[in-house]
Amino acid sequence: MRIRALSFFRRYHIPTFIIVLLLFGLVLMSLRVKQRQGVAFFDALFMELTSPVQKAATFVIKTIHGVFQHYVFLVHLEKENELLRRRIAEFQEENHQMKEMVMANDRLRKLLQFRENMPASTIAAQVIGQDPTSWFKSVTINKGEGDGVQKGMAVISPEGVVGQILKTSPHYATVLLMTDYNSAIDAIIQRTRAKAIVEGKEENRCQLKYLLRTEEVAVGDIVITSGLGGVFPKGLMVGEIRSVDKKSHGVFQYADLVPGVDLTKLEEVLILSAAPPPPPRLEEKEKKVKKISAGSSKKK
């Protein structure tokens, strides 16, 4: 009998376990009906067993919910940050453009005022390129033969001499800067009126040549155009002397000077479209003096 019972439970263990659970449930229900006051022992036991599971499940659910909310918040915050970064970049770009406009207006106002004070007619132009080779120190401007620009014309700025037109095309021109080796400008020292020739030199500098040893020259002296040669009008700023070299022998002394115009930062220039009036000759001055003296003698 025992062997049969064991074989029966082995063959039908799942249905038997279900029947036992149903019977256990019926017993619990009957006990709850009989127990009307307070909490039944089995209910208390059931609560003790299930409460930790409920607590853990609640904690897991809250954690997942919090992580999801935090993720959604971070995604939204990242989008807002990206939008703010774009707005800041736009404002910075607008600020840069406004600063550039203010600086350009200042430069153009100075150029216009300088242009109005020039005796000769001028052509305003913008610098659009720089010679990348080492053969010439030159820049390209956006005005050419169609605008009246011709080879040999003087190029200046409110700060002083820039150079001369080297070559032209219908709409563009090349300016040979005063710092080029091929450039030569008649000049005088403003303080002593000593005459010399300004030629280009390396490292964005120039030098005074054919300056007599007997002439007084000092560091800091200002060099201006002499008006000779019919290219540049008299009195334009050429540069400032930085060093003087009196050779131990020879007739001439030499001086290095820095151009008055920062040629590395050129943006706008003026082209003298008409040659400046030549300086009066000595004979004409003498004739004027004689006329004035004759007129005064007649009055007497």
Task: Read off the pLDDT of residues 216-272 as tens digits, 9 standing for 90 and up.
Answer: 999 999 999 998 888 898 889 999 999 998 876 778 998 999 999 998 888 889 998
pLDDT in tens, 30-66: 655 555 444 455 555 555 555 665 666 676 777 776 6
Domains in the chain: how many in total? 1
Mean pLDDT for all residues in the chain: 76
Does residue 142 sit within a domain?
yes
Give domain status of residue 262, yes or no.
yes
Task: Supply the range of the domain harboring residue 187.
Answer: 122-278
Does 153 map to a domain? yes
- Note whether residue 106 is domain-resident: no
What are the backbone dihedrals phi and psi of residue 222, each rounded to the nearest 5 degrees, phi first? -95, 135
From start to end of 101-194, where are the E strands? Answer: 122-130, 138-141, 154-157, 160-168, 173-177, 184-189
Residue 167 domain flag: yes
Over residues 180-193, the mean pLDDT reads 92
CATH number for the domain that contains residue 169:
2.40.10.340
- Whether 86 is in a domain gets the answer no
pLDDT (tens digit per residue) in 14-26: 667 667 666 665 5
Residues 271/122, Cβ–Cβ less than 8 Å: yes
Q: What is the pLDDT of residue 244?
A: 92
Residue 26 lies in a domain: no
Sign (positive or negative) of CA dihedral 29, 31, 32, 33: positive
Give 270-295 pLDDT, tens digit per residue. 998 865 555 555 444 445 444 545 54
Length of the chain: 300
Task: Say if 226 falls within a structural domain.
Answer: yes
Spacing of C-alpha 225 from chain mean position: 34
Query: Which residue, 174, 198, 168, is CA-closest to 186?
Result: 198
Q: Count CB neighbours of 37 within 10 A.
A: 5
What pLDDT shows up at residue 286? Answer: 47
